[in-house]
Structure formats: C-alpha cells, structure tokens
Amino acid sequence: MDSRTIATQETISSLPTPFSTTAHRLAALEAAQRNWIPKRTNEDWRHLDPNAFPWEEAHAAASSQNHEPVKVGFQTDAHLPVIEAAQLQALLAIQEEDTDAKFLYLHRAMTSTAAAYRIPANSQRLSARIVHGISGPAALTTALVVEKGASAVFYNCWESETNDVLPAIGRIEIVLEPGARLHFLHEDKLGFRTHLYTRARVQIAEGAHLDWGVLTTGSVWHAAKMEVELLGSGAESTFYGLYCGAGKRSAEHRTIQYHPCARAKSELLFKSLLTEKSHSVFQGMIRVERAAQHTDAYQACRNLLLSPAAHTEAIPRLEILADDVRCSHGATVGTVDEDILFYLMTRGLSRAQATAAVAAGFAEEVVRRVPLKDVADRWRQFVEQTISHSLT
Amino acid sequence: MSNSVSDLEIGSYERYGFHQPEKYLVKMDKGLSRHVVEEISEYKNEPSWMREFRLKALDIFLKFPMPTWGADLSGVHFDDIHYYVRPTEKPQQNWDEVPEEIKDTFVKLGIPEAERKFLAGVGAQYESEMVYHSLQKQWEEMGVIFLDTDTGLRQYPDLFREYFAKVVPLSDNKLAALNSAVWSGGSFIYIPPGVHVTIPLQAYFRINAQNMGQFERTLIIADEGSNVHYVEGCTAPVYSSDSLHAAVVECFAKKGARLRYTTIQNWSRNVYNLVTKRAVAEEDAIVEWVDCNLGSKTTMKYPAVFLKGRGARADILSVAYAGSGQHIEAGSKVIHAAPHTTSVIVSKSISRGGGRTSYRGLLKVLAGAVGAKSNVRCDALLMDEESRSDTYPYMDVKEEKSTLGHEATVSKIADEQLFYLMTRGLSQSQATALIVQGFIEPVVKELPMEYALEMNRLIQLQMEGSVG
C-alpha cells in the first residue's frame, strides 16, 4: 500500500476562521463560566462524580492564550480535503439545554486544533490513521464526513506524554452520507492522571453502515457519551467497546442508539474488564421513536470482575414507542467461572494462567472485530497488562 | 362483540358519575396539617409514641421534594385530598347506580353476587362471615394473628412497635412519609414459628374491612420456619373516588420462613397508585412478591427485598398492563447483603391503546455477598403503535464472586403466531388473547386458582377490544 504521511501540523493546527478568532474563544469561555457543573442529582451523573473533574485547571487553560498544542500525527492513503468552516461549526454546535454544556463550552474555548476531514465520494477502502498527543490541558477534536458511497477505515487515537493531573475534553463528530461505509476505531489511552470527558456522535444516513470500535484505558476519570443516530432506512451500526479498568480508574460510558426512522438496525456490545479498585459504569439507551417501525436494535453489556475491590454498575435502558420492532438488551456481571478454571487447571495451567486465559478470551470477542492487525495486537497487549494487575 | 370492554377504559367511571360526594356528612377538611394528623391520632386513641411518629413523618413529608424521576406526578395535589374519612361515615353507594357495564364485567369475570356488591363499593362488607369465622378460628388455634393494622396496634402494642417502620423508615421517601403521617387500615399479620398457613390470607376476609383505604399500612411478620401467603386486591375494577393511594407494606421473613405477598391491583383510571413495599429476608428465608398491576392512572411501585441472611432468596414476579392514558411503572429492588443469596425477577408488561409501561429495577450486590446470584428477565409486549414500553434496570455490583444476568426484550405479537391460530379457527381477538395469556402465564400460574381464572378472563375481555 502506498500509504504516505502528509504534512500534519500546518493542515491541522490552522483552524477555520470562526474558531480561531479571539472573540469566538472568549464567548465560549464566558458560556462555560455561566453554565453549572452538572449536578449529581441529574440522572446522567449519579454514578460518576462530576466534581472530580479538574475544573479549575480547565478554566485556567481555557482563559490563557498559550497552552500546549495538541501534536497530531496523520497518515493516509490519499489527500483528504478539510471540512468547510460552516459545516464544522454546525457539527460542533452546543445545545443550550445540554446537561454537559459546561464541558462542551470549555472544549470550544480550549480548542486550538481540529482534525476535520472529508472522505471523498466513492473512495474505496481508504485507510487513515490519526494520533493526537497531548502534554497539557487539552481539547481534542476529530470530525469526519464520509461522502456518498465512500468506504474507509479510520483509526483515531488520543494519547498523552505526561502523567500530570490534566483535564482533557474530546469531541468526535462523524457524518455518514447515504451508502457510505466507515469502520471507526478509537483508542483512549491518556495518562493515568488524566481526567477525560468525551462526547461522540455519529449520524448515519440511509443505507450507510458504521462499525465503531472503542478501547478505553488510561485516564483515572473518564466520562464518555457516545451516540449513534440512525437517520434513514437501511442505516446500520455496530458498536463494540472494551474498557480495561485497573488501579483506581473510574469510567462511565453512556451510549445511545437513537432510532427516529424506520428499518434501521443497531447493535452494541460493551465489555468491561475490571481489576484492582477500578470502577465501571455503563449506561446504555435504545430509543425507538414512533415512526421507527421495523427497527432491529440490540445492546449487550458484559462485566468481568477480577478483583474483590472492583465495582461495576450496569444500567441498560430501552425506550420503545413503535410496536413492530425487535429490541432487546442483556447485561451480565460475574467473575471467572470456577468450573472453567478447574478444567483448565486439570490441564496443567496454574490458577493465574487459567484466569488470564479466560479473561483474554472474554476480551477477544471485542478485539477480534478490529480490522487492523497491529491495532488488534496492541489491544490484546492492553488486555494482558490489565489482567496481569489482578494476578500479582 | 359487546362493548363491555369499554367499561375498563378510562372515562367510563367518570361518565357514570360513580360517586356521591354529598354523602360525606362528617369529614376532615381537605389538605394536610398538624391539626389533621393530631386529630387522626386522637380519633384512633393511639399511644403517644405513634402520635409523635406521625407528626415527625409529617415534618419529613413537608420537607421532602416530590420525586422528579419516573412517572409524571404533576397531577397529584396534596391539598385537594381528604386525609381521613371515618370508616363508619364512608359513602354508601347504591347497587342500582352501579353502571350496567361494570356489573356486566363482574358477571363475565364470574364473581359471586355477594362479592360483586362489595367490589362495587356498595356492600359495606364481604358477606361470607361464616366462612371467615371458621377460618379465623383455625388460625387463632395456631396462634396466627390476622387483624387490621389499627386493631393490631391496640391489641399487640409491643410486637407492633418492634417491627413497625423498621424496613420503611420515616425518611425513606416523600410518599412513605405521607403514609406514616396519616396511615389508616391495612393488615397486621403475625405467624408464629413453624406454623404453615395453608389457605392464603386474603385482605377482604377481614370483617371490619378498611382494606381499601387510601393510606393503608400493612405489616407482616413470618416468624422462624413459618409459611404464609397473603393476597390483596382483586381482578375486578375497583372504583375509588380518592385520587391518591400511598400505601406502605412491610414484611419480615425470619430464619427459614417463606412469605408470599400477592397483589392484584385494578384501581379505576383516576388513581395515582404510589406504593412502597419492602421485605427483609433473614437466613434461608424466601420472600416472594407476586404483583399484578392492571388499573390506575399512574402506578409507581417497586417491591423490594433486602436479603440480609445467608442463603436468603427473593422471587419477584410482576405483570403490568397499561391501556389508554395509563402509565404503569412497576419494578423491583433486590439488595444482596449476605453470602449465597439468590434472586429471580420476572417482569411481563403489556401496553395497548397508547398506554405506557416501564420497568425500573435495582439490583445491588454489596461487598461480601459471596456467591450471590441473580437473574432478571423483562419482557414487554406492544399491542399497537401508540403505546410505549421502557426498561430502566440498574445493576450495582461490589462483589467479585457473584453472578448477575439481565435480559429484556420488547416486541409485538408475531403475525405468524396469529395467523397459525386463525387457521385453526380462532378469531383474531381470541388468538390475541391466547397469545397474551401465554405471555403472562409464568406469573399467572403463581396466583391462587380463582385469581388466575379471573385474570385470564380479564385479559380476554381486554383483548376483545384491542382488535377489530
């Protein structure tokens, strides 16, 4: 493959006009100050403490002009045009009544770079990788518009070079035009003292198909709201996620499968592997509007506890207003089955090896869906590292 | 097909003016105040601790905000409610004024004539005193106490005080606090150690029946190794002019006891039914809630079991039916607080004609509850495109060595199933009713036989109106 790295810093760090102006930034800062920190009484924030986010550092970073730039490495098969300012602005719009508006305005005020690309119509099997590296409080932005009939694999990674206490706020906005296909892979592996808030949304038009893989590791505090909107007949989405919890990490993943239109399909599998004192919250919602007849929606959440101090909360939800639909969800929580361990131990494995094998198998259901071999291998490494925490 | 189904629908009760407010000759003023609470306590001639308890509850009630989650409760107006009506002054309604359609429903459900009057609010009491008395004698010989709660407090003050408000404390929630302040009626049951009560204790066996009160308070204590089944409610529609029902039920299953509590709720469609039900299960005890919710405008009810002793078990089975204008939020709560505790939750819901059913559940495993096992199954059936079904379960696990599973599905009746039955000669409504009966069968089979029969007939009646 003639993959080539095209110049990165210039193309990415120069934001389109409305974003780069001081007035824009100050207005966002003012809005961030005006909005409250989400209250714990709010249903969305009952399980993960919003006050644990380093608000002061985030405000300080948003107020100062010169924060550490986000370094971006970009590799792609072909030149990708950037998304025009007006569309990007529409994608990153903030609803005034949004519970998490404070995060989103801070994100806007801190934004200095944005990776915002179009994948041209009818491109076939385009492959692109982008890595954002942060070294201070940061706003991370990835926006993609996959044009009609295009197909692509896009790998997006957020990582940091420091283990300082850092606030980071990320936004992912993806649009799939009719008939587009995208396999989007996302890795969160920021430093272990990073506090990360992520808002991600994919809008899927008729006949378009999304595969979305997510690996969460790193960040001591992580709140992610991830939404797929199936906006046309024949739209399909498959989401698979894996959270590797270790140390005192807390992560909340809120997913929304939103079905306003008929004859769309969505599937979701989220797995948490929890060791030490880690904490996982999964809140999954399937919402099927009245018009969305013939919806097929599924959601599964599986939790494997490998430590007596691990804590998991699973809240799968269904809101169904149409009658001719197939919607179901399942959630399970458990530890490694003693019978299976016993079986493996009779074959000569130590208890630790047997546990590691079962846990790796648990994660494999997610990892094997990753289409890029090197990425899949790296995910396996993360899984192994996580498991090793529980066996020492 | 007859129109009899429509009498189960919203509007008919109001249309027929099935109440006679002018017959309230003596009543307390509407609204809640310290004075009202004191007067209730004085009228009942209660010990001072109960009076203090009520007043404290009132303070808490006034301080607490209304729940903002779940169903829409904006139609509840606390100032517009009579908090106490003396039982002897309860309105007597005239059988002639009971709408034909309701009478017709009773006939179709196969309810005996004596009971029909009782259910329609006409008879002051269930006219089967002889049956009741012979049963009561048997129970007395076994040492079983089965009284209304007010009498229970008078006759067994120490036993009462030991358990009262121990699982549902004053400050639990706004509506439990309201109940604590103004409670009246309900059942007080004590089963001595080792006693097995073979015939279900039924609320409407009680002669001085205050059993359909607005703010009833039920307290059941199943002592070690005992076995009891309590049944309240009935399948026939029960008319009530009260717009709010806030009951509290507390159950205690001691070591090795088995306690089953069956509710069949079919309030008229003007009622907000907001009930707090909770049980404690000690070592090896089994608590079963069987909960059928058919009526009311809005129901919010989450029967709870606190599995406190090793090996305790909770079974919660529920059926929710929401027709036009109804929102039924039924759910369950189980807290696994001891090793090797198990729970099974089965919830079946049916929404039709724009009705909305919601399942809201909590499953909590505390650290140390080694070997806890739980399985939750929620199935929802949507009968038409106006209706809605929601599922909001919550699992919170702090114990590694536990196994939990939750599964939920939402679907409509499969066309193939209907088609198959219709090729065998069933009408569409018969086929629908049969499938729905099959759908709720896992719960209905746990009901006492006469209730199960009535329940199935009721489903048939409801389904006749649903198609064609």
B399 lies within 8 A of chain A by CB? yes
pLDDT tens digits, one per residue of A326-341 = 899 999 999 998 999 9
Instruction: Kindly list the residues from chain B whose CB atom is less than 8 angstroms away from the CB atom of residue A331.
Output: 393, 395, 404-407
Contacts of B384 in chain A (CB under 8 A): 323
pLDDT of residue B376: 94
Q: What percent of chain B has pLDDT over 70?
A: 78
- Residue located via tokens 């359909």: B212
Residues of B in contact with A307 (CB under 8 A): 400
| Percent of residues, chain A, with pLDDT higher than 90 | 76
Cβ-Cβ contacts under 8 Å, A333 against chain B: 365, 395, 397, 402-404
Determine the average pLDDT of the residues in B349-353: 92
Judge whether residue B91 has pLDDT over 60: no
Alpha-helix runs per DSSP H in chain A? 9-13, 17-20, 22-34, 55-63, 85-91, 101-110, 338-346, 351-367, 373-391
Q: What is the mean pLDDT of residues A272-287?
A: 95
* Position B191, amino acid: I
Tokens of B339: 């090793």
pLDDT given for residue B233 in this prediction: 73
Contact status of B368 with chain A (Cβ, < 8 Å): no
Residues of B in contact with A312 (CB under 8 A): 395-397
B64: closest CA of chain A, how far (Å): 14
B294: Cβ contacts below 8 Å, ≥ 6 apart? B235, B264, B265, B266, B319, B321, B458
Please check the confidence at residue B12 and state whether its pLDDT lies above 80: no
A65 backbone φψ class: left, alpha, beta (φ>0; ψ -120 to 50): alpha
Is A314 in contact with B395 (Cβ distance < 8 A)? yes
Rounded distance, CA A65 to CA B86, Å? 73
pLDDT of residue A114: 85
Any domain includes B231: yes
Q: How many domains does chain B have?
A: 1
- What residues of chain A have any CB closer than 8 angstroms to a CB in chain B? 43, 290, 293, 303, 305-335
CA B43 – CA B4 distance, rounded (Å): 43
CA distance A45 to chain B (A): 14
Give the distance from residue A28's alpha carbon to the nearest chain B alpha carbon, in angstroms: 31
Which tokens sit at A187? Answer: 């890795």
- A244 pairs with which residues across the strands? A273
DSSP three-state, residue A181: strand
Which positions ≥6 away from B94 have C-beta within 8 Å?
B122
Q: What is the pLDDT of residues A202-245, one digit of tens each?
A: 999 999 999 999 999 989 999 999 999 999 999 999 999 999 99
Closest-CA distance, B193 to chain A, in angstroms, reads 37
CB contact under 8 A, B390 and A334: no
Which of chain B's residues have a Cβ under 8 Å away from the Cβ of A306? 400
Residues from chain A contacting residue B403 (CB–CB below 8 Å): 332-335
Per the domain annotation, does B202 fall within a domain?
Answer: yes
A320–B384 CB contact, under 8 Å = no
Find the domain containing B86 and state its range.
11-301+413-418
Q: Which among B21-30, B112-121, B344-353 has the top mean pLDDT? A: B344-353
Q: Who wins on pLDDT, B9 or A41?
A: A41
Question: Would you state the structure tokens that stand for residue A314, as one six-digit string?
Answer: 């699973």
Which of B349, B379, B387, B395 would best serve as a mutation to test chain A binding (most A beta carbons within 10 A)?
Answer: B395
Q: Do B397 and A305 touch (CB under 8 A)?
A: yes
Sign of CA dihedral B245, B78, B25, B96: negative
Specify the amino acid at residue B426.
L
> A31-51 pLDDT, tens per residue?
999 999 999 888 889 899 999
Taking CA–CA distances from B409, the nearest residue in chain A reads A328
Do the domain assignments include residue B286? yes
DSSP line for B9-60: STTHHHHTT---GGG--S-PPBS--HHHHHHHHHHTT--HHHHHHHHHHHHH
In contact, B171 and B232? CB cutoff 8 Å? no
Give domain status of residue B296, yes or no. yes
**Which residues in A lie closer than 8 A to residue B411 (C-beta atoms)?**
325-327
Contact B149, B218 (CB under 8 A): yes
Q: Is the confidence at residue B122, as pLDDT, over 60?
A: no
Query: How close is the nearest chain B Cα to the Cα of A225, in Å?
Result: 18
**Residue B158 within a domain:** yes
Tens of pLDDT, residue by residue over B282-318, are 999 999 999 999 888 999 999 999 999 999 999 999 9
Q: Are B429 and B383 in contact (CB under 8 A)?
A: no
Band the pLDDT of A266: cuts 50, 70, 90. very high
User: Model pTM?
Assistant: 0.84
Residue B276 near residue B247, CB atoms below 8 Å: yes
Shortest distance between the Cα of B405 and any Cα of chain A, in A, equals 4
B243 lies in some domain: yes
Whether residues B412 and A325 touch (CB distance < 8 A) is answered with yes
In this structure, the dihedral spanned by the alpha carbons of residues A78, A79, A84 and A90, taken in order and rounded to 10 degrees, is 30
pLDDT at A157: 94
pLDDT tens digits for range A104-144: 999 999 988 888 999 999 999 999 999 998 988 999 999 99
Among B383, B388, B408, the residue with its CB nearest the CB of A321 is B388
Q: Which two tokens stand for residue B47?
A: 């010990």
Give B-chain residues touching A317 at CB under 8 angstroms: 390-393
Q: How far is A284 from chain B (nearest CA, A)?
A: 10
- Asked if pLDDT for residue A283 goes beyond 90, the answer is yes
- Contact A329/B408, CB-based, under 8 Å? yes
Q: What interhelical angle do A55-63 and A101-110 show, nearest 10?
A: 40
pLDDT at residue A70 in the model: 79
Residue B390 distance to chain A (closest CA, Å): 4
Residue B384 lies in a domain: no
pLDDT of residue B198: 86
Phi (first) and psi of residue A92, to 5 degrees: -95, 15
Give the residue from B352, B388, B400 with the most A CB atoms within 10 Å of its CB, the best one to mutate: B400
Contact of B391 with chain A, judged by CB distance below 8 Å, is answered with: yes
What gap in Å lies between CA B171 and CA B273, rounded to an integer? 19
Tally helices (H) and strands (E) across chain B: 12, 19
- Partner-chain residue, chosen from B367, B388, B404, that has the shortest CB–CB distance to A320: B388
Is the pLDDT at A3 greater than 60? The verdict is: no
- pLDDT at residue number A96: 86
Q: Considering CB atoms only, which of B367, B390, B401 is closest to A318?
A: B390
Domain chopping of chain A, boundaries: 3-334
Taking the C-alpha atoms of residue A124 and residue A92, their distance in angstroms, rounded to an integer, is 27
Q: CB-based contact (8 Å) between B406 and chain A? A: yes
Weakest mean pLDDT among A14-28, A102-116, B441-455: A14-28
Task: State the helix-helix crossing angle for B48-63 and B34-43, rounded to 10 degrees.
Answer: 150
All residues of chain A having their beta carbon less than 8 Å from the beta carbon of residue B397 are: 303, 305, 311-314, 333
Rounded to an integer, what distance in angstroms lies between the CA atom of residue B342 and that of residue A334? Answer: 14
- What SS3 class is residue B121? coil
Tell whether B453 is within 8 A of chain A (Cβ): no
Does B427 fall in a domain? no
Task: List chain B residues with CB under 8 Å of A315.
Answer: 392-395
